[in-house]
A and B are shown apart, each in its own frame.
Chain A
Amino acid sequence: MNESLSGLLPTDVVRNWDNALNTVCSLFPASTVEQCKQRLLSTLTNTDQIGENAISSAMAALCEQFALEVSRIEDGHIAELQDEMSDEQIYALSNLLYVMDMQLRLDLIAKEVL
């Protein structure tokens, strides 16, 4: 977490956020986490920063729509993922996208407003 932000927060909030982030990320290979992060960041900043493709097209599409407008994710997005993952894994993936999406947003915003 951005130091200018973490220094203004109770220590338990910072610790609990880092803990949740680490828990969810630990459920996936590091390459998947990194690729999802890059997909989210390129969508949030409208830039093309995608390197090696370590995730499926279904996962990449979910990353992009999650960052762009989560309510417009369609049944088909999730059905496509169900061909390659269990429901438990999809649940974990959705939470992975949540914590990484929010961490990226915090990094982008905190330095501008604090």
Chain B
Amino acid sequence: MNSPARITVTQSDAVNRIDRDLATFAASVVRMDKLEPLVTELVRLRCARVHDCRLCGSLRQRKALDAGLDETMADKVDHYESSDLPDNIKAALRLADAMILTPGYVPEALRSDLAAHFTREQIAELLMDIVKWSQQKALVALRTEAPPWAATEQLDFDENGDPMFCGPVQTV
């Protein structure tokens, strides 16, 4: 979809305070490091696809690329249950779906499914990852999330957890 922005956002004290405090929260979530990069990235991509975030969908985290992420794997998040993705990633994606699609109905098996693959601290980190990656909802609602690039871009974070855009993903 190629929807134009529905509003014009100009700098103001209120806008700056919102952006600053949400960015501070996001950076602190990024600094958590108990999960494998591929788990974090595929959960991020699931959020992007379900919410139809064009910006997030156009990004690939550098750490996940280094860990073996490619477009074949990325595409599997759309039909992960029938895919050959590892069981721990499927469990993480089920949690993402429960949170973003059916929060009023959590499948009974989800708790034991998650416990088989993750510690309680890792599950807590997954939950906050989903909150952080769902920040796109505020942008999608207003269609202010069009990426400034046409290709797929590498995403990395500095030591503070702030995002850095590092050029197009190199395809082989």
Contacts and interface: CB of A to CB of B under 8 A. Distances in A.
B82 to A, nearest CB: 23
Interface in B44-98: 51-52, 95, 98
A60 interface: no
Interface residues of B, number: 47
Contact of B104 (A45, A106, A110): A45
Contact of A13 (B9, B28, B95, B100): B28
B131 to A, nearest CB: 5
Given A20-B24, A98-B137, A113 B110 contact: yes
List the 7 closest pairs (A to B, CB-CB), nearest first.
A71-B52, A8-B124, A16-B25, A87-B7, A98-B138, A45-B104, A112-B106
Interface of B, helix, strand, loop or mixed by DSSP: helix
Contacts of A16: 21, 24-25, 28
Interface stretch (A31-39, A50-58, A88-96): A88-96
A75 interface: yes
B12 A88 contact: yes
A10 B131 CA distance: 15
Given A71-B140, A102-B134, A88 B120 contact: no
29 contacts: A8-B121, A9-B128, A10-B32, A13-B25, A13-B32, A13-B128, A16-B25, A17-B25, A19-B21, A20-B25, A46-B104, A70-B140, A73-B140, A78-B6, A78-B142, A82-B7, A87-B10, A88-B12, A92-B15, A94-B139, A95-B138, A97-B141, A98-B137, A106-B99, A106-B127, A109-B103, A112-B98, A113-B111, A113-B114
